[in-house]
Structure formats: C-alpha cells, structure tokens
C-alpha cells in the first residue's frame, strides 16, 4: 500500500517536471499559433472566403475586415487577405487612403507585438494591378509566408517579390487548394 | 389634261408604298407589347401576378406573372427574379428555365421571369438591339423579346434631369428613374418603376422569402462580372457557394453591397426585408461598348469579333472567352450559382432544406444548349 502511494507520488512528480503540459508533436513549434485574426488589405470580400477556408479547416479564427491594432490582443497569427475593391471600401465606409493607413498601422503593431503575419491573395486577376497592387505589396512584404492563387501571379508579381525578400510562397491553382498549405502551416 | 397624269400615279404609288411601310413598321413595333410565351412546367403549382401584392399595377405594362413552385414540404422560400434588366437575356432565360423545367422537392421557389415587364416592350434607342431572338427548345422554335435596360419611357414621360431615389434622396442621372434596380424599396404613389419595386418588396415580405436572387448580366469590360454581390447577411453563404462553384471550374468573385449605394436589390431587399439577397452577374457582349454587329445571333451565341480581338491583344481587362459567351454558358452559370448558394444554405441549415430537381448539370446545359431547358 505504502509503495503504491509512493509510486503515485513519483509519477506525479515526474509528470509535473515534464516540460509543457500538453503532449504536442515535436513539429508543433514550427506551426503558426492560433487564434487567427483574418483582416483585409483593400476591403475586398475575399476575407469572407478566407474565413470559410479557416472554418473548413476548423481553425480558431475570426474575421475583422477593418481590424485595428487593439484587435491584435490575444491573437497568434494575423492573416491578411489582400485585394482592392471599391464596392468593399464603400461597404466599409472608408477611403482608399484611410484603408492604407489602417493596414500600415495594423502591420506595424503586429511586428511590434511579434505576432506572425501571413498574406493570402485569392482574388486572381480581378484583385491585381491598379489600386490592388499597393495593398498586395504592402501586405506581402510584411508577411513571413504568402499563399497565392496562380491567376493572381501570371506576371510573377508575387513570386518575384517573394524571391527578392526570401519569403516562402505557395502558389495554388484554386482558392479551395489553399486549404492544403493552410492546413500544413497551422 | 388626263385625269391621271403619270406624275399623279407616281405620287399615289409612293404614298401607298409609304403607308405600307408605316403599317408594317407599326405592326412590328406593336409586337413588342405582345406577351412573351412562358410554358409553366409540371413543377408550377400556381401562378399569381405582381398586382396581387400591389393592386395599383393591375392593367399596367408593369404587372408581371409570379410563378410558384411548391413542394408542400417544409423548407425555405426562395425568390428568383429574372428580367430586372430586359436587355440581359441570360437572367430572364434562367428564370424561364426554372419555371419550365424545375421540380421542387422541399421548400418552395417563387419565380418572376420578367420583373421589369415594361422594359420588355421596347428596346434602347441607338443601340441597334435585336427586337427578338429565337432558340430551338425541346419541342419547338421559341422566340423571346429582347428588351431595354429600363422600363418603357412612355410610362412616366419625360424623365427628370436628375433622379432622386426614395427615400434616401440619393441623386442619379434622370434615365435611372426607370431602372428597377435603382428603385427599391419603391413607393406606392411613385413612378411606374417605383411602384414595381414596391410590389416586389411587398411580395418578399408577404411570402416570407428567405433567400432572394436577382439575375443580371453586364458588358465584358465591367469589372464586376461572374460575380455574386450580396448584403452583409449573405457573406457566409456566398463565400461557401463561391468555393463550391470554383471546384466545378466556374470561378466567381464575391462583392459586398455598399450600404450607401441605394436602390439596388442587394442593398434594399437585405435592409428592408428578412430575405438574404444575392445578385448574380454574367458577361454579355451585347451590352458591351466594343461590340460590332448587334443582332439576335450575338445575343444567343455571344460571339463578337471585336471582343475576340480585344481579348487576344491582352490589352483590355475584359471577361470574354475566345470561343464566345453563348447564352448556354451564361444561363448555366446562373442556374449553377443559385444551386451552389442553396447547397451552402442546406449545409448550414440541415433542419430546413430546399431541394431542387430537374435542372441539368452545367456541362449538360453547355452540350445541349439553353433550348434543352425549355419546353
Ligand atoms: Zn443588370
């Protein structure tokens, strides 16, 4: 009897000494932390699609197209969905300049708080060029990883940017294919 | 001097020829007022009219048929509007296809193929639009009218210089007075178009519509094409539908309705009724500024040399396939997109599903043509 109690104590002791309390696999350290804050750079509705992808992957994520630095509280990873939409800006009630300022402030705050940042570009050609590329560049350059639907990279805008800045990039054929790299990194 | 000198005979003959030409032209013109033939399929349980929701429309050019396809089993009520802009035939024909071929197994569908009935009675001046186009259906040659973007100008002649939207006060150019998709929520004592919008809003409320679709087309150079535009309420459903459509190689863009742009279905239906609105866009070369010869074949086959050259040059941002943009593709897209939204709805609401039967797959529609959807 005494022996059993002693054993139990030894086990408890070993358990308490064991580093970490959850038995996570070794590669977990490389994974991006959750919860995920999904925000926009350019107010395209692609944020909603990114939200759907995260939902399908059962990630702990919330969408805030107009997220501010304060919204980063308690966040593990900031997922920026880049692409410009005039309809979206109208829907959000902000100007292009205000949106640019907001995105800059959000990315700066994420860097200060050491929150990991990735960029998703899923809108293809429609979210490239002209007004979109200012947002695409801003978000991509602040990210540690890019996931881009190929039709948005026909001119190698993202892949050459990624090569220049040594940012890993996943090019996928379809939006739904983005689930694969997302599933791997989270 | 003879009673009938040669110059008099010549003059009489010319007068007779002019009278015959006038008579013929007049007859052709009046044909635009003849109703289009829609042949309700076995899925249609009853037919009402917009006047049943707003009696003021009775006997006017704006009254329009409302088809009910009811399963008798519980489920959501879905509204599909075609012909908001009668120069966008894919929206109209997709709605007609539902009336003629669909069977509803759970929930119910309400279809208004000619939402802006008045716009089907004229074409837009200076556009060179065809007056009608024909398709071979499952059993016969069917002819449908090609209308104008907005309601017939005789309704509230003349247009004001500035159109002031009710109730927001938003100002648009005067010809938008007759644009049904700038008129919501409408006004019971307003213009003909405002009355039509009022009747449709009333229908949505009275029939407790859950999901509402407004089918459109746009010129290939318009940036919002092959798109789903929705209200905040429809964000998740549209995102789910878009992923489903993409898996079937039908890419779509998702756009949110700007809250400060008034009069549009995707804004006012969402704000003013419990329904979740979706506006669907396909590409229509007939509406494009770049198009060449504009005939019935362009409306049906969607093949235009100018757009092909523009597409090949790669210098324009247009949505145009080198093989043309035939009606089958555009109608097929509308029908698939509606189903994709409903499939997403079913996933999220397993307790109250809507189930449809009788619509061929997109590939089948492409293979067999739009006519295969019609009786
Ligand atoms: Zn339209």
pLDDT digits (tens, 9 = 90+) for B41-89: 999 999 999 999 999 999 999 999 999 999 999 999 999 999 999 999 9
Q: Which residues of A fall below an 8 Å CB-CB distance to B?
A: 44-46, 48-49, 51-53, 85, 87-88, 90-91, 93, 123-126, 129, 151, 174-176
For chain A, give the number of residues: 186
Q: A63 CA distance to ligand 1 centroid (A)?
A: 31
Asked if the Cβ–Cβ distance from B257 to A45 is below 8 Å, we say no
pLDDT (tens digit, 9 = 90+) per residue, B223-266? 888 999 999 999 999 999 999 999 899 999 999 998 889 999 99
Arithmetic mean of pLDDT, A56-85:
95
Please state, in angstroms and rounded to a whole number, the distance separating the CA atoms of residues B115 and B341: 21
**Mean pLDDT for all residues in chain A:** 87
Nearest-angstrom CA–CA distance, B320 and B284: 9
pLDDT surpasses 80 at A159: yes
Going by DSSP bridges, is the β-strand pair B77-81/B108-112 parallel, antiparallel, or unpaired? parallel
Residues of chain A with Cβ-Cβ distance to B259 below 8 Å are 90-91, 93
The pLDDT tens digits of the residues spanning B334-367 come to: 999 999 999 999 988 988 899 999 999 999 999 9
Task: Kindly tell me the burial class for residue B180, based on how many C-beta atoms sit within 10 Å of its own C-beta (0-12, 13-18, 19 or more).
Answer: buried
Is-contact B118 B151, C-beta < 8 A?
yes
Average of per-residue pLDDT across B111-133: 94
Q: Which residues contact B285 (CB under 8 A, 6 or more apart)?
A: B219, B220, B291, B298, B302, B303, B304, B307, B320, B324, B325
Q: Which has the higher per-residue pLDDT, B308 or A22?
A: B308
Q: Name the average pLDDT for chain B.
A: 94
B269, B184 contact by CB (below 8 A): yes
Look up residue A79 and give its two tokens. 């997922």
Q: Which of A52, A123, A151 lies at the smallest CB-CB distance from B236?
A: A52
**Mean pLDDT of the A60-87 span:** 94
Residue A73 region by backbone torsions, left for phi larger than 0, else alpha for psi between -120 and 50, else beta: beta
ipTM value for the complex: 0.73
Contact A91 B256 (CB under 8 A): yes
Question: How does pLDDT run across A12-61, given as a tens digit for each residue?
Answer: 555 544 544 444 444 455 799 999 999 999 999 899 999 999 998 999 99
Reading the block at residue A147, the tokens are 């996931």
The pLDDT tens digits for A112-124 are 999 999 999 999 9
Q: Top-level CATH class of A27-185? A: alpha beta
Q: Which residues pair with B256 in a beta bridge?
A: B230
* Interface contacts A/B by beta carbons within 8 Å: 62
Among residues B84, B349, B350, the alpha carbon closest in space to that of B193 is found at: B84
Give all strands of the β-sheet with A36-41 in edge-to-edge order: A61-63, A36-41, A77-82, A116-121, A145-149, A169-172
The structure's pTM equals 0.86
| Interchain CB distance below 8 Å, A176 and B256 | no
For the stretch B136-154, pLDDT in tens is 999 999 999 999 999 999 9
pLDDT recorded at residue B28: 86
The answer on pLDDT for B275 being more than 50 is yes
Length, in residues, of chain B: 375
Q: How confident is the model at residue B368 (pLDDT cuts 50, 70, 90)?
A: very high
Alpha-carbon distance of A49 to A179, in angstroms, equals: 11
Q: How many CA atoms lie within 13 A of B260 on its CB side?
A: 9
Can you tell me which residue has the tokens 């379809």?
A: A174
Predicted local distance difference test score (pLDDT) of residue A87: 83
In which band, very low, low, confident or very high, does the pLDDT at A5 lie, cut at 50, 70 and 90?
low
**Kind and range of the H or E run holding A49:** helix A46-56
pLDDT for A24: 43
Please report which confidence band the pLDDT of residue B322 belongs to, taking 50, 70 and 90 as the band edges: confident
B357 strand-pairing partners: B103
Say if residues B50 and B206 touch (Cβ distance below 8 Å).
no
**Contact assignment for B246 to A53 by CB distance below 8 Å:** no
- Burial class from Cβ neighbours inside 10 Å (0-12, 13-18, 19+) for residue B58 reads exposed
| Per-residue 3-state assignment (H helix, E strand, C coil) for chain B | CCCCCHHHHHHHHHHHHHHHHHHHHHHHHHHCCCCCCCCCCCCCCEEEEHHHCCHHHCCCCCCCEEEEEECCCCCCEEEEECCCCCCCHHHHHHHHHHHHHCEEEECEEEEECCCCHHHHHCCCCCCCCCCEEEEECCCCEEEEECCCCCCCCCCCCCCCCEEECCCCCCEEEHHHHHCHHHCCCCCCCCCHHHHHHHHHHHHHHHCCCCEEEEEEEECCCCCCCCEEEECHHHHHHHHHHHHHHHHCCCCCEEEECCCCCCCCHHHHHHHHCCCEEEEEEEECHHHCCCCCCCCHHHHHHCCCHHHHHHHHHCCCCCCCCCCCCCHHHHHHHHHHHHHHHHHHHHHHCCCCCCEEECCCCHHHHHHHCHHHHCC
Which chain B residues touch A129 with a CB distance below 8 Å?
Answer: 317
Kindly indicate the confidence band of residue A90, based on its pLDDT and cuts at 50, 70 and 90. Answer: confident
The confidence score (pLDDT) of residue B317 equals 81
> Nearest Cβ partner of A46 from B247, B254, B317?
B254
Rounded Cα distance between B238 and B252, Å, is 10
List C-alpha distances in Å: B118 to A76, B122, B123, B129, B152: 56, 8, 11, 16, 5
Cα–Cα distance for residue pair A180/B212, rounded to 1 Å: 33
- DSSP conformation class of A143: -
Residue of B nearest to A178 (CA): B243
Chain-chain contact of B253 with A126 (C-beta, under 8 angstroms): yes
First to last CA, chain A: 47
> Which residue, B339, B366, B331, B269, is CA-closest to B113?
B331
CB spacing of A48 vs B253 below 8 angstroms: no
Q: Residue B221 in contact with residue B316, Cβ under 8 Å?
A: yes
pLDDT at B226: 92
The pLDDT value given to residue A106: 97
CB contact under 8 Å between B256 and A88, yes or no, is yes
pLDDT of residue A8: 61
The pLDDT score that the predictor gives to residue A119 is 97
Closest CA to B151 of B131, B181, B107, B129: B181
- With CB atoms and an 8 Å threshold, state whether B236 touches A51: yes
Q: Which residues of A143-172 are buried (b: 16+ CB within 10 A; e: fewer)?
A: bebbbbbebbbeeebbeebbeeeebebbbb
Q: How far is the CA of B94 from the centre of ligand 1 (A)?
A: 14
Which of the pair, A5 or B277, is modelled with greater confidence?
B277
Reported as type and span, the H/E element at residue A36 is strand A36-41
Residue A64 has pLDDT above 60, yes or no: yes
């Amino acid at each position: 009897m005494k022996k059993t109690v002693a054993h139990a104590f030894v086990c408890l002791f070993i358990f308490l000494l064991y580093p970490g309390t959850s038995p996570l696999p070794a590669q977990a350290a490389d994974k991006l932390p959750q919860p995920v804050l999904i925000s926009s750079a350019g107010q395209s509705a692609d944020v909603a699609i990114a939200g759907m992808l995260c939902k399908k992957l059962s990630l702990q994520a919330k969408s805030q197209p107009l997220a501010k630095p304060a919204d980063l509280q308690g966040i593990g990873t900031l997922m920026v969905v880049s692409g410009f939409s005039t309809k979206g800006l109208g829907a959000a009630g902000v100007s292009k300049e205000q949106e640019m300022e907001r995105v800059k402030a959000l990315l700066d705050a994420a860097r200060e708080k050491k929150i990991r940042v990735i960029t998703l570009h899923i809108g293809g050609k429609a979210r490239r060029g002209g007004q979109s590329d200012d947002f695409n560049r801003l978000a991509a350059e602040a990210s540690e990883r890019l996931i881009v639907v190929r039709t948005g990279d026909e001119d190698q805008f993202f892949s050459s940017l990624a090569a220049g800045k040594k940012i890993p990039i996943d090019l996928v054929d379809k939006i739904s294919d983005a689930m694969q790299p997302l599933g791997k990194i989270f | 001097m003879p009673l009938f000198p040669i110059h008099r005979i010549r003059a009489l003959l010319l007068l007779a020829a002019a009278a015959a030409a006038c008579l013929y032209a007049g007859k052709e013109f009046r044909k635009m007022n003849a109703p289009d033939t829609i042949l309700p399929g076995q899925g249609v349980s009853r037919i009402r009219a917009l006047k049943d929701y707003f009696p003021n429309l009775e006997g006017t050019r704006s009254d329009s048929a409302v088809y009910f396809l009811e399963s008798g089993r519980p489920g959501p009520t879905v509204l599909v509007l075609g012909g908001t802009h009668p120069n966008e035939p894919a929206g109209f024909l997709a709605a007609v296809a539902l009336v003629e071929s669909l069977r509803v197994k759970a929930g119910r569908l309400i279809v208004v193929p000619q939402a802006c009935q008045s716009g089907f009675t004229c074409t837009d001046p200076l556009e060179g639009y065809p007056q009608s186009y024909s398709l071979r259906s499952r059993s016969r040659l069917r002819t449908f009218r090609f209308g104008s973007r907005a309601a017939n100008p005789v309704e509230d002649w003349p247009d004001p210089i500035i159109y002031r939207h009710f109730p927001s006060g938003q100002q648009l150019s005067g010809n938008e007075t007759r644009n049904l998709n700038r008129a919501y929520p409408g006004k019971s004592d307003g213009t003909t178009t405002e009355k039509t919008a009022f009747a449709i809003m009333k229908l949505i409320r009275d029939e407790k519509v859950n999901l509402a679709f407004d089918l459109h087309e746009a010129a290939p150079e318009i940036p919002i094409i092959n798109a789903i535009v929705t209200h905040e309420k429809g964000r998740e459903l549209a995102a789910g539908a878009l992923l489903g459509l993409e898996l079937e190689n039908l890419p779509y863009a998702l756009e949110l309705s700007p809250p400060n742009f008034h009069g549009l279905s995707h804004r006012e239906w969402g704000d003013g009724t419990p329904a979740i609105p979706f506006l669907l866009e396909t590409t229509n070369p007939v509406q494009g500024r770049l198009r060449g010869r504009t005939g019935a074949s362009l409306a049906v086959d969607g093949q235009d040399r100018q757009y092909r050259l523009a597409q090949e040059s790669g210098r324009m941002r247009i949505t145009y396939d080198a093989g043309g943009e035939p009606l089958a593709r555009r109608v097929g897209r509308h029908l698939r997109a509606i189903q994709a939204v409903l499939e997403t709805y079913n996933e999220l609401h397993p307790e109250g599903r809507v189930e449809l039967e009788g619509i061929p797959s997109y590939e089948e529609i492409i293979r067999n043509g739009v006519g295969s959807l019609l009786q």
